[in-house]
A = this chain, B = another copy of it.
Amino acid sequence: MTHLIELTTPYLLLDPEKMQRNIMRLQAHMDELGVVLRPHVKTAKSIDVVRRLFPSGVGPITVSTLKEAEYFADFGFTDMTYAVGISPDKLPRVARLIHAGVRLRVLLDSVEQAQAVVAFAQRDGIRIPALIEIDCDGERAGLRESDEKIIAIARILQESHQFEGILMHAGGSYHCPDKAAKEAAAEHERATAVTVKQRLNTAGIDCPVVSVGSTPTAHFATDLTGVTEVRAGVYVFHDLVMAGIHVCELDDIAISVVATVIGHRPDKGWIMTDAGWMALSRDRGTAQQELDQGYGVVCAMDGTPYRDLIVTNTSQEHGVVALRKGSKAKLPKLAVGDKVRILPNHACATASQFDGYVVPKIDELVFWPRINGW
């Protein structure tokens, strides 16, 4: 646990006002579209953050690991979707949560998984609510909308009253810098969902849950008719990847890594800091974007980005800070011991390198612990 009286860099700073603004922005958009938001807590993994989403509530949330499910259950959350395909060996942990009163939905996309869930539930005398994963853009897991197996799986689950609906994730929207492209990705996600729901209904199968979501499509959806809930995670903090595709501005990014200058290489135009990849993560999510931000954008401690200053290279505990290639800006004067803030490429990856968030309050710093692992 970090001792706040003598903070050692690198540490992870969280701006609670920016976070609150991000939370309210998406919630307002969802309210406008009349859809429930089921935030994905995989980004923050911290009760102190998630309590800002649900001051006294019990969900709904999305989790990426059973450890998150158990952690949030301990804090009274009872409405969760575990949004990674279930393997049979994880069902005992799922069952323990269900026995403890958590409504935990699992996700699957094969007959084998459906049969395993049904068999386990019957043996254990419980109901394990399940969603079928649909792939709307070829990015990851799930069945294509026209796949015959959707109906077959839904029937297997329906017979034991375990079928709850469908879930998809428009991961392709992460590659859409244009507003029109993000809007089209959102509409494609919605339309695919509605088509599958209609196919199920035509086959005589009720489909109460129609879950879609990604941070870009959640923000750029203009109509969500037929959708019952939206999932999004990284929006709570935002990051350079989201800024790079114009889902947020740099100024919306609520977390940054605080680093100390530990040296200089004037011959190379480098400023060395103590935030290497162990702090920033190896995520290079902006490498394929229009503007490659290296391992992160370097800011003064008040949050103002230095012009063209990025982390160009890292080793485990060293970060090389330099001007972007071709820049005509001047390298700022930063002495050994000076502090900088580094905006991360990918909030989920960078936050996972830390055991919690340092949060400035009116006249103190507080520490919000987070979990990692499985």
A312 in contact (CB, < 8 A): no
| B110–A267 CB distance below 8 A | no
A144 in contact (CB, < 8 A): yes
Given contacts A373-B354, A373-B355, contact A8 B349 (CB under 8 A): no
Contact with B along A304-348 (1 / 0, CB 8 A): 000000000001111010000000000000011100000000101
Residues of B within 8 A of A113 (CB): 263, 336
Residues of B within 8 A of A110 (CB): 263-264, 336
Q: Please report the C-alpha to C-alpha distance between residue A199 and residue B265 in the assembled complex, in whole angstroms.
A: 21
Given contacts A84-B262, A84-B317, A88-B337, contact A374 B9 (CB under 8 A): yes
A274 in contact (CB, < 8 A): yes
A198 in contact (CB, < 8 A): no
Residues of B within 8 A of A267 (CB): 144
Contact stretch, chosen from A22-30, A221-229, A242-250, A279-287: A279-287
Chain A residues 51 to 94 lying within 8 A of chain B, measured CB to CB, are 64-67, 84-90, 92-93
Residues of B within 8 A of A85 (CB): 262-263, 272, 274, 318
Minimum CB–CB distance from A314 to chain B (whole Å) comes to 10
Contact with B along A334-374 (1 / 0, CB 8 A): 01110000000010110011110000000000000000111
Minimum CB–CB distance from A277 to chain B (whole Å) comes to 7
Q: Please report the C-alpha to C-alpha distance between residue A30 and residue B274 in the assembled complex, in whole angstroms.
A: 30
Residues of B within 8 A of A274 (CB): 84-85, 87
Q: Please report the C-alpha to C-alpha distance between residue A84 and residue B317 in the assembled complex, in whole angstroms.
A: 7
* Interface residues of A, count at CB 8 A: 68
| A265–B141 CB distance below 8 A | yes
Q: Please report the C-alpha to C-alpha distance between residue A9 and residue B65 in the assembled complex, in whole angstroms.
A: 10
Q: Please report the C-alpha to C-alpha distance between residue A235 and residue B40 in the assembled complex, in whole angstroms.
A: 38
Residue of B nearest to A280 (CB): B282
Q: Please report the C-alpha to C-alpha distance between residue A100 and residue B92 in the assembled complex, in whole angstroms.
A: 47
Q: Please report the C-alpha to C-alpha distance between residue A138 and residue B373 in the assembled complex, in whole angstroms.
A: 36
Given contacts A84-B274, A374-B11, contact A262 B141 (CB under 8 A): yes
Q: Please report the C-alpha to C-alpha distance between residue A353 and residue B116 in the assembled complex, in whole angstroms.
A: 30
Listed A/B pairs (27) with beta-carbon separation below 8 Å: A2-B373, A9-B89, A10-B374, A84-B274, A85-B262, A85-B263, A85-B272, A87-B261, A87-B336, A87-B337, A88-B336, A108-B263, A109-B263, A112-B335, A113-B263, A116-B337, A133-B263, A138-B268, A140-B318, A140-B320, A141-B262, A171-B315, A277-B349, A282-B282, A282-B346, A282-B349, A353-B372
Chain A residues 129 to 143 lying within 8 A of chain B, measured CB to CB, are 133, 135, 138, 140-141
Given contacts A263-B141, A281-B282, contact A372 B352 (CB under 8 A): no
A184 in contact (CB, < 8 A): no
A194 in contact (CB, < 8 A): no
Since A116-B336, A355-B373 are in contact, a sample of 18 more A-B pairs with Cβ atoms closer than 8 Å, ordered by chain A residue number, is: A8-B374, A9-B87, A42-B316, A64-B316, A85-B272, A86-B262, A87-B274, A88-B337, A112-B335, A138-B268, A140-B272, A140-B315, A140-B320, A141-B263, A141-B272, A141-B318, A281-B282, A352-B353
